[in-house]
C-alpha cells in the first residue's frame, strides 16, 4: 500500500516541499530502503524509526518497505524526516488515520518514540503559510518557533504515541495559540550596560557614533583596557530589532539550530564573537552542504573579532565581500545558496604582540621586527573598510577609585544612548527613503556623498587641511565625510559643520610608528 506524507527540506534559507512516499509491499523479501538522495543521517533514521515504532507498542511490518523522498534530485539532509517516514510506515499498515487536510510532519525521533528538538521549524511554518497548509505537526520543543506565524495550526507533538492517538481521534493534541509578534518584540535587557563600565568615555562615544551610522569600528588597546566589555555592551545601544529584522534573524537561527528548546523569535540583536582560530568556512559559511557562518549568524547584529591580527589572513580577507554586499553567496555543485550578512564589524587588537607598546606604566618586550610584523597584519584592504579607528588606553585603577562618584554621574545608561542612536537612525531613514538600498550613513557610496553630505564651506576647508596634514587617501577622505555625517545626525544638524569634521578626525586611521 502506498502512502504519501508531506514534509519540507531547506535549501539555504528557503524551505521546499518534499513528498515522503512510503510503500509497504506484500510481496518480496522483508527489507527497508530509502531512495531520493538521502544523506547518511537520513539513512540512519531506519534504525530510529524501527525502534521508535516498536517502543510505541506498534508492530513493525515485516514486509518490503520502500521510501522515496521526492523530488529525488535534491539532496536530503538531517534527521527531520524521521517523523514523516514513521507515520508513513504506520499508516501503510492501517494503524493510523491520516488527516484529510494536507499537513506537514517534521521532526527527529528518539528511540523511545519521543520527539527531539529539530532545527528549521520556523522555515517550515513560513512555507506552510505560503502554501496554504493548515496543520503542521512538529516536536513540542521547537513548536514555539512556528507559533508566531498566523493562519496555521501548530500541533506540538511529544511522542509518536501521542501523535497516533491524536490522529485516530482518541486523545486530541491542543494546537498552540498564535503568539502576537508585536508582543514578543520588546526591549531585551542588554548583556552589559554602558553605565556599568567605568571610564573609557571616548570609546563609548565612538561606539555611539558607530551604532548611529552603522559604521564598522576598530579598537586598539592594551590587554585589560575593556575592549571586549565595550563590544559586548554594543548591542544594547543598537536600535531595537524590528519585526522584519527579527524574522530574518530567526530564520538563520532556526536553520542553524541555534534557537534553544522552547524558544521563539530572536529578540535580541545577535552578538557573535568567534575565536581567532575559526576557519574561513566557520566565519563565512559553506561546507559541502552549505551552512551559515558567523557573519550570517551576526546578521543585524554585531560581529566581534577579538585579537584581530591573530586571525588567519585568508579568513580576514574573505570578510571583504560580505562587508561590501551585506550577504554571502555560496556556490556548490549541488546549487548555490545566499545567506544575509549585514553586520557591524567590531575588531580589536593589542598594539603589539605583548600588548604594552606605548603604555606609560609597563614596558613593551617586543623587538622592532615583531612589532612591524604584528602591525603589518593590521594594514590592508580590510582596515580600509572600517570607518572608525580608536585607541583604547588602559584605565588607571587609581584614577577609577578616586573618581567613582564623578564617573557614575558621567556614564550614560545604555537605554539613554540607544534613544539618541534611534533618533539619528530616524534622520537617516528619512534621508534615504527615496533610495534603493541605503539604510544608514555607512551604506553611502561615493556618489551618494555629493547628494547627502551637505557640508559647509568651513567643514570643507578643515577637511582639505586634514587631507594634507595626515596624507589621507581618497578612501579615508570619504570615510571621514561619512562619519562626520553621522556625528551631525547625532546632534540633529542638517549640515555637516566644521566641528563635526573635527570630531570625526579623532577616529581616523592611524599609522602606528615604532
Please report, as ranges, the residues that interact with another protein according to CB under 8 A: 199-202, 204-205, 221, 351, 357-360, 391-393, 395, 399, 403, 406, 410, 457-458, 460-462, 464-466, 468-469, 487, 499, 501-503, 505-506, 510
- Nearer to another protein by C-beta: 17 or 512? 512
For residue 473, the SS3 value is coil
Angle at which helix 414-431 crosses helix 201-213, to 10 degrees, equals 30
8 A C-beta contact, residue 53 and residue 90:
yes
- Nearer to another protein by C-beta: 254 or 411? 411
- Nearer to another protein by C-beta: 88 or 199? 199
3-state SS of the chain: helix, strand, coil percent to 5? Answer: 40, 20, 40
Q: How far is the CB of 129 from another protein (least distance, A)?
A: 48
- Nearer to another protein by C-beta: 365 or 410? 410
Secondary structure (H, E, C), 231-290? HHHHHHHCCCCCHHHHHHHHHHHHHCCCCCCCCCCCCCCCEECCCCCCCHHHHHEECCCC
Q: How far is the CB of 484 from another protein (least distance, A)?
A: 11
Cα–Cα–Cα angle for 58, 89, 53, rounded to 5 degrees: 30
Question: Grid coordinates 602606528 are at which residue?
Answer: 512
- Nearer to another protein by C-beta: 210 or 501? 501
Which helix (H) or strand (E) is 64 found in, with range? strand 64-70
Q: How far is the CB of 441 from another protein (least distance, A)?
A: 17
- Nearer to another protein by C-beta: 36 or 221? 221
- Nearer to another protein by C-beta: 313 or 510? 510
Q: Name the grid cell of 445.
A: 557610496
Per DSSP bridges, beta strands 285-286 and 291-292 are antiparallel
- Nearer to another protein by C-beta: 150 or 196? 196
Render 210-230 in DSSP notation, one character per residue.
HHHHT--EEEE--TTSSHHHH
Render 139-205 in DSSP notation, one character per residue.
EGGGHHHHTTSTTSEEEEE-BHHHHHHHHTTSSPPPPPPPPPHHHH---PPPSS-GGGS-S-HHHHH
- Nearer to another protein by C-beta: 201 or 307? 201
Question: Grid coordinates 573579532 are at which residue?
Answer: 305
Alpha helices (H) along 110-150: 121-131, 143-146
Q: How far is the CB of 140 from another protein (least distance, A)?
A: 51
Instruction: Tell me the longest C-alpha to C-alpha distance in the chain.
Output: 90
Per DSSP bridges, beta strands 108-109 and 115-116 are antiparallel
Q: How far is the CB of 475 from another protein (least distance, A)?
A: 19
Which helix (H) or strand (E) is 465 found in, with range? helix 457-470
Rounded Cα gap, residues 431 and 92, in angstroms: 61
Q: Name the grid cell of 507.
A: 577616529
| DSSP letter, residue 60 | P
- Nearer to another protein by C-beta: 101 or 363? 363
- Nearer to another protein by C-beta: 323 or 352? 352
Rounded Cα gap, residues 235 and 390, in angstroms: 18
Amino acid at each position: 500500500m502506498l502512502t504519501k506524507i508531506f514534509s519540507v527540506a531547506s535549501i539555504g534559507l528557503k524551505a521546499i516541499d518534499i513528498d515522503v512516499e512510503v510503500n509497504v509491499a506484500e510481496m518480496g523479501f522483508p527489507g527497508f530502503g530509502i531512495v531520493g538522495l538521502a544523506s547518511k543521517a537520513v539513512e540512519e533514521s531506519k534504525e530510529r524509526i524501527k525502534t521508535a515504532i516498536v517502543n510505541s507498542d506498534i508492530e513493525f511490518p515485516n514486509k518490503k518497505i520502500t521510501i522515496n523522498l521526492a523530488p529525488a534530485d535534491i539532496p536530503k539532509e538531517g534527521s527531520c524526516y524521521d517523523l514523516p517516514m514513521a507515520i508513513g510506515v504506520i499508516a501503510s499498515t492501517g494503524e493510523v488515520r491520516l488527516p484529510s487536510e494536507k499537513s506537514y510532519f517534521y521532526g527527529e525521533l528518539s528511540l523511545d518514540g519521543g520527539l527531539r528538538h529539530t532545527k528549521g521549524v520556523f522555515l517550515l511554518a513560513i512555507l506552510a503559510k505560503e502554501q496554504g497548509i493548515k496543520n503542521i505537526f512538529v516536536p513540542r520543543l521547537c513548536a514555539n518557533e512556528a507559533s508566531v506565524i498566523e493562519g496555521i495550526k501548530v500541533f506540538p507533538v511529544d511522542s509518536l504515541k501521542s501523535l497516533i492517538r491524536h490522529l485516530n481521534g482518541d486523545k486530541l493534541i491542543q494546537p498552540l495559540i498564535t503568539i502576537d509578534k508585536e508582543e514578543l518584540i520588546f526591549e531585551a535587557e542588554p548583556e552589559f550596560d554602558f553605565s556599568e563600565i567605568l571610564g573609557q568615555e571616548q570609546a563609548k562615544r565612538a561606539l555611539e557614533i558607530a551604532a548611529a551610522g552603522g559604521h564598522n569600528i576598530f579598537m586598539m588597546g592594551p590587554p585589560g583596557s575593556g575592549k571586549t566589555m565595550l563590544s559586548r555592551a554594543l548591542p544594547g545601544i543598537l536600535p531595537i530589532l524590528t519585526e522584519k529584522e527579527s524574522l530574518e534573524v530567526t530564520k538563520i537561527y532556526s536553520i542553524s539550530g541555534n534557537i534553544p528548546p522552547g524558544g521563539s523569535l530572536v529578540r535580541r540583536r545577535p552578538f557573535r564573537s568567534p575565536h581567532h582560530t575559526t576557519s574561513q568556512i566557520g566565519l563565512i559559511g559553506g561546507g559541502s552542504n552549505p551552512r551559515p557562518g558567523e557573519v550570517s549568524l551576526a546578521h543585524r547584529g554585531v560581529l566581534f573579532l577579538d585579537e584581530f591580527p591573530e586571525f588567519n589572513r585568508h579568513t580576514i580577507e574573505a570578510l571583504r565581500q560580505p562587508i561590501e554586499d551585506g550577504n554571502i553567496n555560496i556556490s556548490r555543485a549541488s546549487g548555490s545558496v545566499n545567506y544575509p550578512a549585514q553586520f557591524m564589524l567590531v575588531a580589536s587588537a593589542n598594539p603589539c604582540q605583548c600588548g604594552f607598546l606605548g603604555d606609560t606604566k609597563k614596558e613593551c618586550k617586543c623587538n622592532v621586527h615583531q612589532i612591524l610584523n604584528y602591525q603589518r597584519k593590521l594594514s590592508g584592504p580590510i582596515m580600509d573598510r572600517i570607518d572608525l579607528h580608536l585607541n583604547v588606553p588602559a584605565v588607571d585603577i587609581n584614577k577609577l577609585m578616586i573618581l567613582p562618584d564623578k564617573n557614575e554621574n558621567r556614564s550614560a545608561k545604555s537605554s539613554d544612548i540607544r534613544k539618541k542612536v534611534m533618533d539619528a537612525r530616524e534622520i537617516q531613514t528619512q534621508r534615504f527613503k527615496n533610495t534603493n538600498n541605503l539604510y544608514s550613513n555607512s551604506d553611502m557610496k561615493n556618489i551618494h556623498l555629493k547628494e547627502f553630505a551637505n557640508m559647509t564651506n568651513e567643514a570643507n576647508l578643515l577637511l582639505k587641511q586634514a587631507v594634507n596634514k595626515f596624507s589621507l587617501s581618497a578612501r579615508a577622505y570619504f570615510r571621514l565625510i561619512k562619519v562626520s555625517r553621522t556625528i551631525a545626525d547625532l546632534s540633529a544638524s542638517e549640515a555637516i559643520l566644521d566641528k563635526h569634521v573635527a570630531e570625526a578626525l579623532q577616529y581616523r586611521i592611524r599609522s602606528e610608528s615604532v
